[in-house]
Amino acid sequence: MQLTLNLFRKLGWRPRSVGTPGRQWSGKNRRIRAVTSGMKKRMRDKENRIASVEEMIQFSYLTKEEAEIPKEKLEEIESIKNRMLWQKRILGHDVFGLGAGKPSPLDHFMVTDTRRYSKKDDE
């Protein structure tokens, strides 16, 4: 870089900043920035957040025995999950497979719909 600049100067090249009066700043980190109240608040918030996280993690983690779930409870959780998945597979009367139980802008199409999940007032 220095060699290139020296060769350019020999040929008569001048940097653009030479023609501009005053001290030139290039880059946002060269100039000393004033510390504003907003910056102080952000620093305080960050310190408070770090302190709260440190306070939360100062206790040791659960041991393997403490974290273990009884077999009956595990089976109950699994059965609830399977039941919910089974219930989710049934479509609501107001949608065409977009979700269940939510009002649909397509309700006016359901007047003549004869599929199994359509509204049936007479049944």
Write out pLDDT tens, residues 61-107: 888 888 888 999 999 999 999 888 877 766 555 545 444 455 666 66
**How many residues make up the chain in this entry?**
123
Alpha-helical regions (H) of 25-115: 37-57, 64-67, 71-88
**Is residue 95 within 8 Å of residue 102, measured between CB atoms?**
yes
**Is residue 84 within 8 Å of residue 90, measured between CB atoms?**
no
* Rounded CA separation 24/18 (Å): 9
Give the whole-number percent of the chain exceeding pLDDT 70.
60
Number of Cβ within 10 Å of residue 94's Cβ equals 19
